[in-house]
Each structure stands twice: as structure tokens, then as C-alpha cells.
Amino acid sequence: MSDLLPDLDIQRALGKLPGWARRGNTLVKTYKFRTFRAGIDFVDRAAAVADRMDHHPDIDIRYTKITCTLSTHDA
């Protein structure tokens, strides 16, 4: 089990990550794409990275908006 980051460290890190926000114990970002297909291509690439890292985000697809929610099982 990993140690969770202190709140202040999380806030500092989020200041360097445009578009990301904290919601409870998760980090969330919504990406907007010009077309549905472009969004799906992004999801496909994100899935490949997530598999390599063995850390899988929740991904919500709403036409040209893709919302990624990251959390840890330790939270």
C-alpha cells in the first residue's frame, strides 16, 4: 500500500496540470475534440498507456467530450 500525498502537495501538482481538478479522492479532466472519431482515437491511445501502467482510469464518452477520472485503490 502506498502513502497518499498530502492535500497541499496535490494542490501544488494540480497547479501545474491545466484542466485537471480534484473531486473528492479523484483527479478529473474533460477533453474536448472536434469529432467523435478523434475522441475515440484518444481513448484508444489512453487505454494503451493505462494497460502498460496497469492503472486504469474511468472514461466517460459523451460525443466529442471525454472525461477521465483517476483514483487510487489506496484512497
Distance CA 31, CA 39 (A): 8
The DSSP 8-state label assigned to residue 4 in this structure reads P
The second-level CATH assignment, the architecture, of 7-70 is: 2-Layer Sandwich (3.30)
Domain boundaries, the chain: 7-70
pTM for this entry: 0.85
Reported as a single tens digit per residue, the pLDDT across 8-59 is 999 999 999 999 999 998 999 999 999 999 999 999 999 999 999 999 999 9
